[in-house]
């Protein structure tokens, strides 16, 4: 099939020799279902041009045919879908940036049925006149209900390419670097800077977006130190590669320059190899670079001129034409008209002429320019039309003619009759816009320079230097000199052993240049609103007329104009259009460009995939999973897990054929009738030592700690300074000046930082140290009437007698042969022991307990049963039964508040504020459904009168609710206004499913109200 | 002033778009206004619009130091919803929602309010409890809302990974069908055009450098470009700069201004027809009518007026987006930016009198400002016109931070944005 | 509400053969990565050796804290284990005996905090001796032996793996032999020590060890990872 | 992204190792119980929030866990100094006029 079609598509625009392509490596690719051939070293764009393909897309708003305009990142038109399989689809690839590889499949993103015969373009032609700026804001309002229908049609036209439907097969990663000097861009200035800096021995990184370093030198005709520019580039790269203090990154776009010289560099590691990255290699990498000094050597983008139908395929930048000819050996057409405001524009005519194709004319907008290039044009006998401009391109789907007319000196109007030149390519150059993008990222505003007709990087407080084109420098020798100077200066800033004059400037002969003319919008015989469309931003179809209309409508700030017209919001971010647009707005408003404002760019310089930004933090590595020492046992015993923060906690342990409720019933009943075991290792544990540890506890807990003796434990409640409950847990006195605090699982890190905050900033005079021991201890709770008997089987050195080892005591000893701390505390209300052993013994002890627990049918229970068991006893879970608006008093925990402590503990003053003392606050109560079989949904809202109309007055909500097999009915907890005083009253819960559930307010304890069991 | 309609579009097309009228004047400020609104963003312009329209105030000026809508109005991710947990917040945002529903017609300006629904995901059991609680509260407050399970989420958002095999599986969501997005700039421009038509002077490029206070009462503002402008009452509606303005009047606010970042993808063909938010994995996403995926991140933790934040926040958001929508891996992120959000301790706004008489503040909207725009303007206009808060504004006094009557929206999941 | 939760597994190469144990009086020690069965993994890997990884056996770890009484801690350390506190920030002091390197090693953590490593079986004894030597001085000692996993990363690309994993500047010019820093490791934290050229010690929280192991596998993929027996 | 000098580790470290903790030098009232609601509210919630130089508290969470202070420009994000808790800043902040607000 390939061969069949091949014959029809010869590379008719490919020159027989030259270019930096490998003619031995022929690559086949597919574009819009047709096969083409190119060479290694091509981009998609150069290969398409070589094959004579003109139309590569349709415009967004008017659906006009568009061709390749540039040869680099600034390309607004040639935006393609690339990918040969569903999973490797990449939307919106710039054909000018994507290296060609064998088997590449790409297609245009708009145009139906085909990009060359697009039905939408008819609509665009008819409706286009109506679709001025602000079109959407002015219509589709009537009738109101129709908007959603209109919007469906609007959305149908949305977007350029498409996202894949399948998961990405490739992976991405990041790498951190810390360097002394970071050079962005490897043209003449960047390479010079890199070499100058590198020779001093400082750490240097240089990154460039292209596959080959050298920038414009790669298609330049000049020589450096008597070497062809390309050879000089090779020599410099070779030297850099030999230095171990240099990292040289090609195919790497510096996308962001963030605060304190932090840069993000997007390296496309495998884009040139194929759809999919080779095994083991990440497709893209983001280098995160911290640099002492940054040297911007990003060069400049050529501005095309704005003239009628300047979007026709065949209209290109002058520099792009040169680049295609010299770098890729591709001449994008047969006959060329050049329009330029400056000397640089001439080069493409020479290149075109020198490969033997026709240059119809060079149209110089300047009337009296005189410089070396003009002499060279004459030498070549190229027709030169001075003081004139191409005011309009003509052609159906591609350029066939250029309308040329003489213009006045400042380019504001046409002075002569237009005449027609036959051509298929119009190259234009309106000057160069320095690529100042990165300099804006930390808030610096670029500065307009009339002498170079462009913005240059503005003042910055960061260590950032610029060199070469980005600084407005236009001659090669000056670019190189600036590079050397910047490199030397940057190196000197970070190194004591700077080598003076590490590099001397190479010999370059510059040509005599004539000043450029300030021209952006080429005048036409008609006003912009009536002339054929003059495009400023190709991708968003913003025209000169549109900009003028916007200013007439009152959008006078450049930011308004941009937003109203969408200028600069495309994927090219206005690299070629923004300055032209600003100039047009400035002129319309009668201001200078500097007065009109500046153009501020945001990251990214060029778009970067989400995959790259996310790096390796996806899938299984999205967020750490934290495991307890007993996790393996849980997995082997069929546990389902609950995410609690980053922890994986066993949720429940279903057996064959059990429903979740069956499991919970079994686990809860087993615990209350025999013995159950819970993995509580995730609880936060903080070791507190120091002579003032006790004092400190008294200040951060609401209750009293002065008298807790060693060997005893106490429940503690922690509030914020606002008096709202923040965390709770049991703290044990290990020795007079040594405590072990436990926190909630989710609150562990926060509480530790909280303690450190208060200690370090408020009370540094207190002698106290905090150390997290959460991971050190494996914690297992055995609970139930048989827990003592079970413990006795594995622990012989602690007196377990109920009077010797009382409720809220702790003892150290050994359990299953392992040193352990055993705490007689209970979150179930049962006789209960919390066994703590160093984590590396956790699984051993756990299994030993099961080994010995067979006779008691020891039952593992998970977090869900833990919730049920604690709710049966009315124990709260901070974060579930509280929400940051509940004081200890609201929580009915007045007993845990000691207001007679000498120090005004954290939370005391807060809970005495006016609103915290008012009646009718929401308070924690038990809720008993009238029908014991009905379980209230957690989150159900309470009303006192269910008959009222909406909006109803709500008085609280259910915080915890379960079916309790032990209580033989549903149980619930919730917060209800004034609830503590309203025990016995009914509240109603109207639900979304139409039911209204009635429940009576009561206390929160459902099992063992006198608390006998835990003390037994 | 031309009324916008299909006919006016057609007529102007025939006239080569040359005869559109200005959307607002560029008036020279008068020496005195009855009301000065400081801040020409959506909220400020809406305030002025409703002062003129609802309260028939004829002497109103909006003073803007830059360009209209140039602050957070033009920088947010355009989500509109009203499913707030606490009654006070829910009523205020629902008031805004009702105004949104007729706004394009009221302003004769299409703000492209698209009620495509907002989904707040739950990723753990506590999320789901909070979602149940909030949806139940919303329903009893007359606000539409449903609790969805993972399967229903999957049906509405086919590209979302609801497989259960993710790190934090989607367990379900709250769903507000009436919620959606709107075109942010159009809101500012629509209100500006509407206010201007009703006689409000909109003064751009005019920076307030001081608030003039005499005997404990505000009497006017000092401006950089136009000197002193006196006023009967002054309303400050300058998100991101409220603390600075309060400082001029001599008091502090319970506010910290933090960077809030957002980013967009390149335009791609529609893959997401609703708004998905996830607080647990920190990210939210919608897709604009142009095809951009609009993605919001969390707040940076430090005070920052630079309209930019730190890169790790962007990265974390990208992790979350990839976790939820793995198919975007090869889609390109185009542009990132930052706004300045005034955060309050309870994540609820301040619509309030101040210690200075005749000086009122509308601020502290945090990440929730855009969605409230019409309601905020409507209620604040009422406060300015009458000098005392109405029922909707009452709870949002700045003095709640003294007596402790906070409205703690932090307490509920899925409400921070 | 239908509650969906997944049965969770460790990272790849997870469940290993069960350690046999009979008599419960012989405690079985499990390192954080016991489940991975690195010994078995070690025999299987042969693909490239850019990076070499191992988990050390359980290592005794003591957190030492002192502010004004630093001198007392210093002398107690000298009398008990004959080791000094590091003089400079972010450095270590090691004491070796015989063929074992770094039997004891003290790492700087903060101006008032150090981490002492020692053979696991000595930790309790050293803690006791230090305490008795310190008497009433206000110094804190916490045994955190179970709380961490001690990992080793070496090989010519070990530094590259670190560059992918931590924000700290691990260039040898900055992170030289003997330097210890606390920093980030992907989304976990690490106490990182440069043991010798291309050889690093990572002390990570036990509960994060599986995550770190998984991360290292992914980050080393392009260089070839071999697991060495420890 | 910030590059922050930790005065305890005496090195520049990446922002990801740190956590911002709000305004620096917030002193908890010595006699909390004697505070009025207003005084307590000022301590709890009211902040300087300056546009310009600001003293803020950060913690080296992934490093030495110490809290310390930073003088930073909230517009340019430049860090002018970092100093330990208990030390005084060297950079002077501009005077802010602050009258006694009325509780209305």
Q: Read off the pLDDT of residues D34-62 as tens digits, 9 standing for 90 and up.
A: 999 999 999 999 999 999 999 999 999 99
What CA–CA distance (Å, rounded) separates A779 from A54? 72
Q: What is the distance in angstroms between the CA of the first residue and the CA of the last residue of chain A?
A: 87
B118-178+257-343 homologous superfamily: D-Amino Acid Oxidase, subunit A, domain 2 (3.30.9.10)
Q: pLDDT at position C191, please? A: 98
Q: What SS3 state is found at D12?
A: strand
Q: Do B255 and D104 count as a contact with CB atoms less than 8 A apart? A: no
- A157 — phi, psi (to 5°)? -90, 0
What CA–CA distance (Å, rounded) separates A704 from A896? 8
Q: Is the pLDDT of residue D90 over 70?
A: yes
What CA–CA distance (Å, rounded) separates A770 from A595? 59
- A650 — phi, psi (to 5°)? -60, 130
Strand order in the sheet with A335-340: A315-317, A425-429, A335-340, A358-364, A384-386
Pairing of strands A227-228, A246-249: unpaired
CB A565 within 8 A of CB A545: no
Inform me whether the C-beta atom of residue C162 falls under 8 Å from chain D C-beta atoms.
no
Pairing of strands B32-38, B60-63: parallel
Tens of pLDDT, residue by residue over B140-181, are 999 999 999 999 999 999 999 999 899 999 999 999 999 999
What CA–CA distance (Å, rounded) separates A976 from A943? 9
Class of domain A684-772: alpha beta
What CA–CA distance (Å, rounded) separates A348 from A428? 10
- Total count of residues recorded for chain B: 417
Inform me whether the C-beta atom of residue A898 falls under 8 Å from chain B C-beta atoms.
no
Q: Is the pLDDT of residue A481 over 90?
A: yes
Q: Which of B251, B304, B402 is the closest to D37 by Cβ?
A: B402
Q: Identify which of A977, A883, A940 has the alpha carbon closest to the alpha carbon of residue B140.
A: A940
Summarize the confidence of residues A163-181 as an average pLDDT.
Answer: 97
User: Going by C-beta distance under 8 Å and a sequence separation of 6 or more, which residues neighbour residue A259?
Assistant: A442, A462, B306, B308, B310, D1, D2, D77
Q: Do A660 and C3 count as a contact with CB atoms less than 8 A apart? A: yes
- C148 — phi, psi (to 5°)? -135, 160
What CA–CA distance (Å, rounded) separates C185 from C149? 14
Q: Identify which of C75, C85, C138 has the alpha carbon closest to the alpha carbon of residue C116.
A: C85
CB C35 within 8 A of CB C18: no
Tens of pLDDT, residue by residue over B193-220, are 999 999 999 999 999 999 999 999 999 9
Q: Nearest CA to CA, how far is C112 from chain D (Å)?
A: 9
Domain-embedded: residue C199:
no
CB pairs under 8 A between B and D: 96
Sign of CA dihedral A936, A940, A944, A946: negative
Domain-embedded: residue C196:
no
Q: pLDDT at position C223, please? A: 94
Q: Which residue in C2, C4, C11, C187 has the most chain B C-beta atoms within 10 A of its own C-beta, making it the best mutation to test that interface? A: C4
Q: Which of A155, A555, A602 is the closest to B289 by Cβ?
A: A155
CB A657 within 8 A of CB C40: no
Q: Which of C25, C144, C171 is the closest to A773 by Cβ?
A: C144
What CA–CA distance (Å, rounded) separates A275 from A170? 9
How many CB atoms neighbour CB C170 within 10 A?
Answer: 25
User: Could you tell me the CATH number of the domain that includes residue D76?
Assistant: 3.30.2270.10
User: Going by C-beta distance under 8 Å and a sequence separation of 6 or more, which residues neighbour residue D30?
Assistant: none
Average pLDDT, chain D: 91
Residues 16-75 of D with CB under 8 A from B: 16, 19-20, 22-23, 37-38, 40-42, 44-51, 54, 56, 72, 74-75
H or E, element range at A401: strand A401-406
What CA–CA distance (Å, rounded) separates D91 from D80? 7
**Angstrom distances, CA of residue A865 to CA of A523, A962, C141:** 80, 10, 37
Q: Do D49 and B257 count as a contact with CB atoms less than 8 A apart? A: yes
Q: Nearest CA to CA, how far is A345 from chain B (Å)?
A: 31
CB D1 within 8 A of CB D15: yes
CATH architecture, domain A2-126 = Roll (3.10)
What CA–CA distance (Å, rounded) separates C51 from C42? 13
| DSSP notation for chain C | -----PPP--SSS---PPPP---TTSPPP--TTGGG-HHHHHHH--S--SEEEEEPPPEEEEEEEESTTHHHHHHHHHHHH--PPPSSTTBEEEEEETTEEEEEEEEEEETTEEEEEEEGGGHHHHHHHHHHHHTT--EEEEE-GGGEEEEEEESTTHHHHHHHH-SS---TTTS-TTBEEEEEETTEEEEEEEEETTEEEEEEEGGGHHHHHHHHHHHHTTT-EEEPP-
Is A918-1016 assigned to CATH 2.40.30.110?
yes
Q: Which residue in B172, B174, B318 has the most chain C C-beta atoms within 10 A of its own C-beta, making it the best mutation to test that interface? A: B172
CB A227 within 8 A of CB A220: no
Domain-embedded: residue D30:
no
Is A303-429+515-596 assigned to CATH 3.50.50.60?
yes
Q: Do A610 and B265 count as a contact with CB atoms less than 8 A apart? A: yes
What CA–CA distance (Å, rounded) separates B260 from A257? 18
How many CB atoms neighbour CB C40 within 10 A?
Answer: 12
Q: Which of A90, A92, A137 is the closest to B110 by Cβ?
A: A137
Q: Do A762 and D21 count as a contact with CB atoms less than 8 A apart? A: no
Inform me whether the C-beta atom of residue C178 falls under 8 Å from chain A C-beta atoms.
no
Q: Which of B132, B147, B169 is the closest to C5 by Cβ?
A: B169
The neighbouring-strand residues paired with B14 are none
For chain C, the chains sharing at least 3 beta-carbon pairs closer than 8 angstroms are A, B, D
Q: pLDDT at position C38, please? A: 79
By CA distance, what is D1's nearest residue in C?
A: C167
Residue D18: give the domain boundaries: 3-25+47-84
Q: pLDDT at position A141, please? A: 81
Residue C217: give the domain boundaries: 9-147+209-230
Q: Is the pLDDT of residue B62 over 60?
A: yes
Q: Do D32 and A722 count as a contact with CB atoms less than 8 A apart? A: no
Q: Which residues of D touch C168 (CB under 8 A)?
A: 13-14, 17
Q: Do C206 and A775 count as a contact with CB atoms less than 8 A apart? A: yes
DSSP-assigned letter for residue A911: G
What CA–CA distance (Å, rounded) separates B312 from D62? 15
Please tell me whether the overall predicted TM-score, pTM, comes out greater than 0.90 for this model. yes
Helical ranges in A365-459 per DSSP H: 372-379, 437-440
User: Going by C-beta distance under 8 Å and a sequence separation of 6 or more, which residues neighbour residue A292?
Assistant: A179, A180, A181, A261, A463, A490, A493, A494
Q: Which residues of D touch C90 (CB under 8 A)?
A: 9, 11
Q: Do A839 and C147 count as a contact with CB atoms less than 8 A apart? A: yes
Q: Nearest CA to CA, how far is B153 from chain C (Å)?
A: 13
Chain center to CA of A670: 50
Tens of pLDDT, residue by residue over B364-376, are 999 889 999 999 9
Q: Do D101 and B305 count as a contact with CB atoms less than 8 A apart? A: no
> Quick check: bond before A838 cis, omega within 30?
no
Q: pLDDT at position C110, please? A: 96
Tens of pLDDT, residue by residue over A842-899, are 999 999 999 999 999 999 999 999 999 999 999 999 999 999 999 999 999 999 999 8
User: Could you tell me the CATH number of the domain that includes residue C110?
Assistant: 3.30.70.1520
How many CB atoms neighbour CB A636 within 10 A?
Answer: 10
Query: Mind spelling out the 3-state secondary structure of C131-153?
Result: HHHHCCCCEEEEECHHHEEEEEE
Fold of B29-82+84-109+184-254+346-411: FAD/NAD(P)-binding domain (3.50.50)
Domain-embedded: residue C189:
no
Q: Nearest CA to CA, how far is C16 from chain A (Å)?
A: 10
Number of domains in chain C: 1
Q: Do C2 and B150 count as a contact with CB atoms less than 8 A apart? A: yes
Sign of CA dihedral A101, A105, A111, A115: positive
By CA distance, what is D38's nearest residue in A?
A: A913
pLDDT band at A9 (very low <50, low <70, confident <90, very high): low
DSSP-assigned letter for residue B339: E
CATH of span A172-300+434-494? 3.50.50.60
H or E, element range at A172: strand A172-184
**Angstrom distances, CA of residue A631 to CA of A40, A751, A843, B167, C8:** 54, 25, 8, 17, 10
Q: Do B321 and A138 count as a contact with CB atoms less than 8 A apart? A: no
Q: Which of B306, B308, B310 is the closest to D15 by Cβ?
A: B310
Tens of pLDDT, residue by residue over A676-721, are 999 999 999 999 999 999 999 999 999 999 999 999 999 999 999 9
CB A178 within 8 A of CB C172: no
Tens of pLDDT, residue by residue over A534-568, are 999 999 999 999 999 999 999 999 999 999 999 99
pLDDT band at A1 (very low <50, low <70, confident <90, very high): very low
CB A859 within 8 A of CB A791: no
Domain-embedded: residue D98:
no
Number of domains in chain D: 1
Q: Nearest CA to CA, how far is B79 from chain A (Å)?
A: 16
Q: Which of B134, B190, B334 is the closest to A571 by Cβ?
A: B334
Helix axes A476-494, A188-198, angle to 10 degrees: 30
Q: Which residue in B214, B243, B252 has the most chain D C-beta atoms within 10 A of its own C-beta, making it the best mutation to test that interface? A: B252
For chain B, the chains sharing at least 3 beta-carbon pairs closer than 8 angstroms are A, C, D
Fold of A777-869: Gyrase A; domain 2 (3.30.1360)
What CA–CA distance (Å, rounded) separates A589 from C19? 82
Strand locations in B39-151 (E): 60-63, 79-80, 118-122, 146-149
Average pLDDT, chain C: 85
Tens of pLDDT, residue by residue over A233-280, are 999 999 999 999 999 999 999 999 999 999 999 999 999 999 999 998
What CA–CA distance (Å, rounded) separates A747 from A727? 7
Q: Do D14 and C168 count as a contact with CB atoms less than 8 A apart? A: yes
Q: Which residue in D19, D77, D79, D87 has the most chain A C-beta atoms within 10 A of its own C-beta, making it the best mutation to test that interface? A: D77
Q: Which residue in D2, D5, D18, D62 has the most chain C C-beta atoms within 10 A of its own C-beta, making it the best mutation to test that interface? A: D62
Domain-embedded: residue C174:
no
Q: Do B323 and A618 count as a contact with CB atoms less than 8 A apart? A: yes
Inform me whether the C-beta atom of residue C18 falls under 8 Å from chain B C-beta atoms.
no
User: Going by C-beta distance under 8 Å and a sequence separation of 6 or more, which residues neighbour residue A835?
Assistant: A779, A780, A781, A782, A791, A815, A820, A821, A822, A845, A849
Q: Identify which of A503, A14, A611 has the alpha carbon closest to the alpha carbon of residue A232.
A: A503
By CA distance, what is B405's nearest residue in D?
A: D41
């Amino acid at each position: 099939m390939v061969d069949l079609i091949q014959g029809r598509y010869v590379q008719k625009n490919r020159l027989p020799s030259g270019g930096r392509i490998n003619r031995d490596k022929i690559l086949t690719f597919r574009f819009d279902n047709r096969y083409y051939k190119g060479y290694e070293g091509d981009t998609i764009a150069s290969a398409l041009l070589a094959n004579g393909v003109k139309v590569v897309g349709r415009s967004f708003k008017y659906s006009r045919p568009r061709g390749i305009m540039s040869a680099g990142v600034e390309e607004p038109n040639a935006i393609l879908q690339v990918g040969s399989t569903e999973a490797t689809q990449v939307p919106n690839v710039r054909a000018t940036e994507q290296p060609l590889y064998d088997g590449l499949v790409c297609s245009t993103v708009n145009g139906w049925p085909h990009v060359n015969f697009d039905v939408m373009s008819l609509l665009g032609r008819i409706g286009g006149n109506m679709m001025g700026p602000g079109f959407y804001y002015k219509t589709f309002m009537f009738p109101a209900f129709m908007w959603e229908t209109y919007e469906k049609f609007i959305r149908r036209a949305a977007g350029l390419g498409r996202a894949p439907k399948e998961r990405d097969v490739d992976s991405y990663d990041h790498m951190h670097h810390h360097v002394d000097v970071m050079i962005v861009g490897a043209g003449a200035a960047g390479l010079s800077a890199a070499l100058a800096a590198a020779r001093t021995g400082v750490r240097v990184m240089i990154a460039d977006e292209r596959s080959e370093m050298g920038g414009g030198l790669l298609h330049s005709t000049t020589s450096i130190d008597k070497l062809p520019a390309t050879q000089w580039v090779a020599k410099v790269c070779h030297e850099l590669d030999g230095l171990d203090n240099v990292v040289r990154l090609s195919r790497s776009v510096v996308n962001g320059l963030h605060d304190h010289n932090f840069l993000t560099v997007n390296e496309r590691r495998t884009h040139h190899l194929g759809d999919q990255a080779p095994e083991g290699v990440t497709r893209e990498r983001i280098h995160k670079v911290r640099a002492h000094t940054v040297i911007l050597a990003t060069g400049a983008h050529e501005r095309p001129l704005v003239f009628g139908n300047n979007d026709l395929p065949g209209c290109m930048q002058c520099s792009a034409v040169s680049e295609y000819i010299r770098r890729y050996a591709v001449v994008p057409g047969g006959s060329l008209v050049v329009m330029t405001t400056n000397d640089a524009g001439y080069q493409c005519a020479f290149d075109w002429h020198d490969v033997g194709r026709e240059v119809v004319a060079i149209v110089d907008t300047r009337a009296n320019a005189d410089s070396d290039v003009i002499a060279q044009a004459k030498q070549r006998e190229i027709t030169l039309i001075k003081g004139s401009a191409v005011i309009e391109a003509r052609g159906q789907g591609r350029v066939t003619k250029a309308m040329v007319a003489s213009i006045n000196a400042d380019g504001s109007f046409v002075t002569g009759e237009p005449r027609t030149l036959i051509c298929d390519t119009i190259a234009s150059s309106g000057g160069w816009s320095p690529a100042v993008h990165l300099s804006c990222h930390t808030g610096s505003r670029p500065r307009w320079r009339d002498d170079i007709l462009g913005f240059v990087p503005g003042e910055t407080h960061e260590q950032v230097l610029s060199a070469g084109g980005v600084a407005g420098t236009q001659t090669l020798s000056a670019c190189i000199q600036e590079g050397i100077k910047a490199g030397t200066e940057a190196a000197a800033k970070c190194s004591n052993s700077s080598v003076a004059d590490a590099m001397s400037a190479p010999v370059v002969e510059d040509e005599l240049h004539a000043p450029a003319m300030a021209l952006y919008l080429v005048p036409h015989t008609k006003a912009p609103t009536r002339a054929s469309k003059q495009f400023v931003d190709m991708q968003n179809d913003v025209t000169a007329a549109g900009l003028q209309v916007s200013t007439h409508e009152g959008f006078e700030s450049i930011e308004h104009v941009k937003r109203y017209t969408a200028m600069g919001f495309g994927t090219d971010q206005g690299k070629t259009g923004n300055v032209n647009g600003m100039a047009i707005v400035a002129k319309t408003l009668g201001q200078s460009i500097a007065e009109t404002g500046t153009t501020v760019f945001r990251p990214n310089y060029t778009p970067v995939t989400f995959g790259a930004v996310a790096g390796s933090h996806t899938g299984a590595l999205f967020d750490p999973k934290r495991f307890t020492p007993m996790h393996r046992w849980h997995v082997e015993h069929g546990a389902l897990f609950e995410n609690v923060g980053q922890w994986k906690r066993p949720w429940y342990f279903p057996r064959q054929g059990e429903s979740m409720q069956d499991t919970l019933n079994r686990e809860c009943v087993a615990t209350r009738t025999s013995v159950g075991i819970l993995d509580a290792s995730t609880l936060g544990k903080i070791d507190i030592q120091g002579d003032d540890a006790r004092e400190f506890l008294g200040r951060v807990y609401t209750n009293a700690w002065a008298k807790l003796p060693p060997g005893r434990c106490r429940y503690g409640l922690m509030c914020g300074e606002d008096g709202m409950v923040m965390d709770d847990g049991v703290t044990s006195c290990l020795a007079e000046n040594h405590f072990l605090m436990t926190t909630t699982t989710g609150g562990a890190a926060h509480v530790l930082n909280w303690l450190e905050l208060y200690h370090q900033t408020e009370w540094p005079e207190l002698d106290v140290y905090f150390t997290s021991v959460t991971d050190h201890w494996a914690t297992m709770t055995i609970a139930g009437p048989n827990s003592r008997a079970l413990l006795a089987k594995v622990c012989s050195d602690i007196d377990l007698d109920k009077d010797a080892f009382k409720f809220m005591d702790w003892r150290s000893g050994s359990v299953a042969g392992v040193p352990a701390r055993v705490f007689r505390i209970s979150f179930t209300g049962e006789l209960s022991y919390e066994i703590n052993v160093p984590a590396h013994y956790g699984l051993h002890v756990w299994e030993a307990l099961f080994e010995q627990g067979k006779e008691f049918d020891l039952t593992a229970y998970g977090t869900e049963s833990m919730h049920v068991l604690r709710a049966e006893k009315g124990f709260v879970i901070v974060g579930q039964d509280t929400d940051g608006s509940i004081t200890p008093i609201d929580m009915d925990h007045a007993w845990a508040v000691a207001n007679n402590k000498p120090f005004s503990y954290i939370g005391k003053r807060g809970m005495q504020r006016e609103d915290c003392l008012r009646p009718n606050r929401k308070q924690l109560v038990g809720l008993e459904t009238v029908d014991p079989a009905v379980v209230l949904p957690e989150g159900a809202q309470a009303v006192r009168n269910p008959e009222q109309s909406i909006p109803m007055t709500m008085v609280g909500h259910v915080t915890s609710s379960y079916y309790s097999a032990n209580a033989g009915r549903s149980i619930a907890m919730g917060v209800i206004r004034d609830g503590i005083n309203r025990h016995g009253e009914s509240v109603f819960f109207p639900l979304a499913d139409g039911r209204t559930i009635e429940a009576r307010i009561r206390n929160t304890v459902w099992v063992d109200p006198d608390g006998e069991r835990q003390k037994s | 002033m031309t009324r916008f309609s299909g006919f006016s579009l057609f007529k102007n097309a025939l006239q080569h778009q040359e005869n559109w009228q200005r959307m607002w004047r560029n008036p020279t400020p008068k020496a005195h206004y009855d009301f000065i609104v400081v801040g020409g963003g959506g909220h400020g312009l809406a305030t002025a619009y409703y002062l003129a329209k609802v309260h028939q105030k004829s002497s109103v000026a909006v003073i803007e130091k830059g360009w209209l809508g140039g602050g957070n109005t033009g920088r947010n991710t355009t989500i509109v919803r009203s499913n707030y947990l606490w009654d006070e917040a829910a009523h205020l945002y629902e008031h805004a929602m009702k105004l949104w529903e007729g706004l394009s017609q009221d302003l004769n300006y299409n703000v492209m309010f698209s009620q495509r629904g907002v989904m707040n995901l739950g990723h753990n059991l506590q999320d789901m409890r909070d979602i149940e609680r909030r949806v139940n509260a919303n329903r009893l407050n007359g606000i539409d809302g449903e609790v969805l399970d993972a399967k229903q989420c999957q049906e509405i958002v086919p590209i979302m990974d609801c497989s259960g095999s993710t790190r934090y599986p989607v367990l379900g969501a709250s769903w507000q069908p009436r919620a959606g997005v709107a075109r942010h700039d159009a809101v500012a421009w629509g209100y500006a055009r509407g206010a201007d038509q009703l006689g409000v002077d909109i003064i751009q490029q005019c920076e307030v450098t001081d608030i003039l206070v005499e005997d404990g009462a505000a009497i006017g503002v000092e401006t950089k470009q136009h000197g002193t402008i006196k006023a009967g009452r002054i309303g400050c509606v300058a998100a991101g700069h409220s603390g600075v303005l309060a400082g001029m009047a001599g008091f502090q606010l319970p506010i910290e201004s933090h960077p809030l970042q957002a980013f967009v993808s390149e335009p791609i063909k529609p893959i997401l027809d609703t708004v998905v938010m996830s607080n647990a994995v920190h990210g939210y996403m919608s897709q604009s009518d142009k095809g951009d995926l609009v993605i919001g991140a969390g707040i940076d933790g430090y005070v920052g007026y630079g309209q930019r934040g730190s890169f790790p926040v962007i990265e974390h958001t990208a992790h979350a987006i990839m976790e939820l929508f793995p198919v975007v891996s090869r889609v390109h992120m185009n542009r990132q930016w930052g706004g300045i959000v005034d955060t309050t301790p309870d994540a609820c706004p301040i619509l309030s009198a101040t210690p200075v008489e005749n000086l009122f503040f509308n601020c502290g909207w945090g990440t929730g400002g855009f969605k409230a725009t019409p309601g905020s303007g409507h209620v604040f206009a009422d406060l300015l016109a009458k000098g005392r808060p109405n029922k909707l504004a009452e709870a949002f006094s700045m003095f709640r931070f003294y007596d402790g009557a906070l409205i703690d929206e932090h307490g509920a999941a899925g409400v921070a944005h | 509400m239908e509650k969906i939760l997944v049965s969770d597994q460790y990272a790849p190469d997870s469940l290993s053969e069960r350690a046999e144990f009979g008599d419960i009086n012989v405690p079985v020690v499990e390192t954080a990565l016991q489940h991975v069965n690195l010994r078995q993994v070690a025999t299987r890997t042969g693909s490239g050796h850019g990076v070499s990884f191992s988990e050390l056996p359980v290592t005794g770890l003591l957190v030492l804290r002192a502010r004004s009484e630093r001198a007392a801690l210093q002398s107690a350390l000298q009398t008990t284990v004959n080791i000094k506190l590091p003089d400079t920030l972010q450095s270590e002091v090691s004491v070796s005996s015989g063929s074992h390197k770094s039997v004891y090693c003290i790492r700087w953590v903060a101006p008032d905090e150090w981490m002492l490593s020692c053979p696991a079986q000595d930790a309790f004894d050293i803690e006791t001796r230090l305490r008795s030597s310190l008497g009433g001085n206000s110094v804190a000692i916490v045994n955190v032996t179970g709380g961490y996993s001690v990992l080793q990363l070496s090989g010519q690309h070990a530094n590259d793996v670190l560059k992918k994993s931590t924000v700290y500047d691990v260039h040898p010019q900055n992170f030289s032999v003997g330097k210890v820093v606390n920093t980030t490791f992907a989304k976990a934290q690490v106490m990182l020590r440069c043991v010798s050229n291309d050889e690093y010690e990572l002390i990570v929280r036990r509960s994060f060890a599986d995550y770190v192991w998984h991360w290292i596998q992914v980050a080393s993929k392009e260089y070839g990872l071999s697991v060495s027996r420890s | 992204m910030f590059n922050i000098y930790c005065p305890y580790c005496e090195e520049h470290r990446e922002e990801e190792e740190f956590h911002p903790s709000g305004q620096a030098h917030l002193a908890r009232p010595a006699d909390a119980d004697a505070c009025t609601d207003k005084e307590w509210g000022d301590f709890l919630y009211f902040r300087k929030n300056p546009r310009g130089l600001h003293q803020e508290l950060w913690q080296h969470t992934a490093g030495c866990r110490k809290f310390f202070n930073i003088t930073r420009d909230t517009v340019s994000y430049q860090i002018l100094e970092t100093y330990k808790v208990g030390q005084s800043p060297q950079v002077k902040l501009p005077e802010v006029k602050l009258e006694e607000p009325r509780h209305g």
